[in-house]
Amino acid sequence: MRVALCDDHAVVRSGLRRILDAEDGLEVVGEAGSVKEAVALAGTCLPDVFVMDLGLPDGSGIDATAAVVRISPATRVLVLTGHDDIAYLRRAFEAGAAGYLIKDAADIELVQAVRLVASGKQYVHPALGAALLAPDAPPARLGGPGGELSDRELEVLRMMALGLTNAEISQQLYVSVRTVETHRSHIHQKLNVRNRAELVRRAKDAGLLDGDDPGP
């Protein structure tokens, strides 16, 4: 199995190379230190697996990943990075990466991850995998255990989703702030949400705000 490396730190590259070379059936066929070098290397070597850092001097490893996959579609890119944000992970997979590994675990999990992606599977670092599966999307239907929302409650819900404060809602509806608070607490109970952010997500999932949201 032919592996290429891209990392702008030579010490890290040599450490990775020695670990991978020590494994049976693995061979490091080239090293790159920048986006440009990585793309060139992919074009000439057509490696089976490309181990890719994200922070590179001339750009992002995410761009490099997209370019590598375009030039050499058979190459599986394994991102190896210090970033543990889900946002980077999503981007990397959108760009065509097959695996995402955090450097804390490089020494233990690298070989396993390289073998996994080479075999056609995807690899995500366990800690990030758990975050990906975090239940942030409750069932997309309005009307929870507490029953259906009234017309007035729907009106208040829409105003809350537009970011209006209790005082502003009370002015628009000609009711007291206290009444708005009561509506809010009923909405929370009926939809089983605890605050505005949860409410907005819930309302968006239910398509209730489609007319208000121009994108993305």
The reply to whether 167 sits near other proteins by the rule CB under 8 A is yes
Measure the CA angle with vertex 110, ends 132 and 124; round to 5°: 10
| Beta bridge pairs of residue 78 | 51, 99
- Give the interface segment with other proteins, choosing from 26-34, 36-44, 139-147, 205-213 (CB under 8 A): 205-213
What is the spatial distance between Cα 213 and Cα 171, in angstroms, rounded to a whole number? 23
Among 94, 104, 130, 139, binds other proteins (CB under 8 A): 104
Among 34, 37, 63, 103, binds other proteins (CB under 8 A): 103
The reply to whether 133 sits near other proteins by the rule CB under 8 A is no
Q: Residue 189's closest CA among 152, 153, 137, 151?
A: 153
Quick one: which H or E segment has residue 55?
A: strand 55-56
Other Cβ atoms closer than 10 A to 9: 12
- Give the interface segment with other proteins, choosing from 6-14, 33-41, 70-78, 113-121 (CB under 8 A): 6-14
Nearer to other proteins among residue 74 and residue 197 (C-beta): 197
Helix axis angle, 35-45 relative to 61-71, nearest 10°? 20
- Which spans of this chain sit near other proteins (rule: CB under 8 A)? 7-9, 11-12, 15-16, 18-19, 22, 55, 60, 82-88, 91, 103-104, 106-108, 131, 136, 161-163, 165-167, 181, 194-201, 204, 209, 212-216
